[in-house]
Amino acid sequence: MKYDKFLKAAIAGLTLSLTAAAPTIAPAETLRVLRGAASSALSVPMSRAVVVESDVPFTELSIANPGIADISSLSDRTIYVLGKEPGRTTLTLLGENGRLITNVEIHVSPDMAEFKERLTQILPGENIEVRTANDGIVLSGTVSSIARLDRALDLAARYAPDRVSNLMTVGGTQQVMLKVRFAEMQRSVSKALSTSLSFNGTGFNGDVDVTGGTQSGLFGGTPFADADSTGATLFGFGAGGLEVGILLEALETRGVVRSLAEPNLTALSGQEATFLAGGEYPVPVSNEDDVITVEYRPFGVELSFIPRVVDQDIINLELSAAVSAIDPSNGFTSGGFSIDAFTRRETSTTVEMRDGESFAIAGLLSDDFTDLNGQVPWIGDIPVLGALFRSAEYSRNQTELVIIVTPHLVSPTRGEALALPTDRVRPPTEQGLFLFGQVASEGGPTSGAAGEVARQDFSGSYGYVLDE
């Protein structure tokens, strides 16, 4: 007796454990066929089942495309329909003697319930509407960024590969203003020191003419009479019929060149914007028929960028910048044409940053160094006296280019809030022009941003002052 109770308890426990371990299966939907006609079309989610019940018994079943849906009869009045692939097909029910009972249209579509659940989990708070069209998925609504839009499309492609229609729009600010500052500094230093020695006279049964060093010349019998170099000093003395001349040249030059451009460009996310501050240079080009045509090559400060708003205030920038100038010293001349060369510094990069952050492209530095020494062989090696037969030249040129880029998310504003450089300047009156010599009269708007510009005072000294 105790053994029977123990066996019953074990069987009951095993039954409960198997019931708990069994997967939960969602109940199948049911479509009823009454009086030989289906109440509606049958929609079957992919990999899920729907039960069809008929009020009259059937003897034969057939489906037009078994690849879309699979069927099996549970009884003479109940049919089990399983969705396999997205698409449309027809289920046919036949009664006795092959009599047609009805045709049921079956539409198999991706499982929208599971897709909507996953979409809510991955992208919470996004207003995305999900619909089915034919055998695909249609997404509509507004999302907060392009990154979230791409995630929604990737998830939809898991349920309907190559059958996803995107009708979503990206909300928020999608226009980017790029503030760029170009700064180029060129520094040059050169130093030169040279000496020359010359003897001129008569004697020893003829003329004597001895010249040494790197600078020499005779004009009218006077040593170095044609020496007119800046920083040159001539020393000379005579002893009887002998004239001695010493030319000492010392020259030092320093130079600084600074060029700057600060363009502000605005572009829609994903669209390209370009900027050129400079000009175009004509270059003759010969084609295959030896016909000379002219092409124009741009030079100056060039900038092109493509912004992409990735997520909220994160901006991806594809940037290309260049600074070029005409260089006649490296030009080319042929057939009567003289073509100048160009000096060009350029860079291209792709970066990602937030609204208002900056990055700098620095270190595009060229450093040219020249150090030359010349002397008269053997004589220039003599101590002390050899210095009169030697020359030295030193030169160094440095060029550094810095580009600082700052992106901002911007929105359009009303025209009254914008100011122009000409807002504070008006043409003068005839009285002011002819009597007082005025070339412009003050005035302009009194309110808004234009009014702020008009109230600025530029009287007195203004501009840049360089102190050394």
Higher pLDDT, 202 or 79: 79
Residues constituting the chain? 468
Angle at 420 between CA 269 and CA 415, to 5 degrees: 60
CB 165 within 8 A of CB 131: no
**Does residue 5 belong to any structural domain of this protein?**
no
**Domain stops at, among 155, 170, 185:** 170
Domain boundary among 67, 85, 109: 109
Question: Quick check: is 128 in a domain?
Answer: yes
**Is residue 148 included in any domain, yes or no?**
yes
Both tokens of 309, joined, read: 């708003």
Helix (H) or strand (E) holding 453: helix 448-454
| 306 inside domain | yes
Task: Summarize the confidence of residues 247-270 as an average pLDDT.
Answer: 78
Mean pLDDT, rounded, for 13-41: 51
pLDDT at position 221 over 50: no
Is the predicted pLDDT of residue 64 greater than 80, yes or no? Answer: yes
Give the number of domains in the chain.
Answer: 4
More confident residue, 384 or 18: 384
- Residue-level pLDDT at 389: 72
Q: How confident is the model at residue 222 (pLDDT cuts 50, 70, 90)?
A: very low
Residue 168: pLDDT above 70? yes
Name the pLDDT band for 368 (thresholds 50, 70, 90).
confident
What pLDDT score was predicted for residue 200? 67
Residues 349 and 247 in one domain: yes
| pLDDT exceeds cutoff 60 at 458 | no
Predicted pLDDT of residue 20: 38
Which of 362, 274, 350, 354 has its CA nearest to residue 317? Answer: 350
Specify the CATH number for the domain of residue 120: 3.30.1340.30
Residues 404 and 434 in one domain: no
Least confident of 159-163, 198-202, 208-212, 413-417: 208-212
Closest CA to 102 of 168, 40, 147, 177: 40
- Give yes or no: residues 124 and 100 share one domain: no
More confident residue, 214 or 180: 180
CA atoms within 13 A on the CB side of 64: 11
Please tell me whether residues 82 and 121 are part of one structural domain: no
> If pLDDT is split at 50, 70 and 90, which confidence band does 272 have?
very high
In sequence order, what are the beta bridge partners of 82?
A: 49, 70
Task: Tell me what pLDDT residue 341 has.
Answer: 87
Looking at the predicted structure, is the pLDDT value of residue 453 above 60?
no
The answer to whether residues 342 and 395 belong to one domain is yes
> Which residue has tokens 């909300």?
171
Q: What is the mean pLDDT of residues 400-406?
A: 85
Per the domain annotation, does 429 fall within a domain? yes
Same domain, 362 and 384: yes
Residues 97 and 48 occupy one common structural domain: yes
Identify the residue with better confidence: 2 or 434.
Answer: 434
pTM > 0.95: yes or no: no
Which of 150, 178, 175 lies closest to 318 in space, CA to CA?
A: 178
CB atoms within 10 A of CB 291: 8
Query: Same domain for 116 and 105?
Result: no
pLDDT tens digits for 344-363?
888 888 989 888 898 887 66
Domain end: 411, 442, 457, which one?
411
Over residues 231-252, the pLDDT tens digits come to 666 667 766 666 767 677 777 7
Same structural domain, 195 and 272: yes
Q: In the chain, pLDDT over 90 holds for what percent of residues?
A: 3
pLDDT above 50 (res 6): no
Mean pLDDT, the chain, integer: 75
Task: Indicate if 406 and 456 belong to the same structural domain.
Answer: no
Lowest mean pLDDT segment, chosen from 1-10, 97-106, 260-269, 274-283: 1-10
Helix (H) or strand (E) holding 93, with range, is: strand 87-94
Q: What is the mean pLDDT of residues 180-186?
A: 82
Please give the average per-residue pLDDT across 35-55, as a whole number. Answer: 78
Quote the percentage of the chain above a pLDDT of 70.
Answer: 69
For 196-231, b/e burial (b = at least 16 CB within 10 A) is bbbebbeeeeeeeeebbbbbbbeeeeebbeebeeee
The verdict on residue 224 lying in a domain is: no
Q: Which two tokens stand for residue 2?
A: 């105790």
pLDDT value at 379 more than 50: yes
CATH code of the domain in which 92 resides: 2.60.40.1080
Q: What angle do CA 316, 318, 323 make, to 5 degrees?
A: 140
pLDDT class of 180 with cuts at 50, 70, 90: confident
Residue 2 is assigned to a structural domain of this protein: no
pLDDT for the residue 9: 43
Report the pLDDT averaged over residues 252-259.
72
pLDDT for 226 equals 45
Asked if residue 60 is part of any domain, the answer here is: yes
Is 48 in a helix, a strand, or coil? Answer: coil
Query: Does residue 302 sit in the same domain as residue 378?
Result: yes
Of residues 178, 360, 175, the one with CA closest to residue 264: 178
Contacts with 324 (C-beta within 8 Å, 6 or more apart), sequence order: 278, 298, 299, 300, 302, 342, 343, 344, 345, 346
pLDDT for the residue 334: 74
Domain residues for the domain of 97 are 37-109
Average pLDDT over residues 27-48: 70
pLDDT at 455: 61
Same domain, 384 and 419: no
Per-residue confidence band for 217, with pLDDT thresholds at 50, 70 and 90: very low
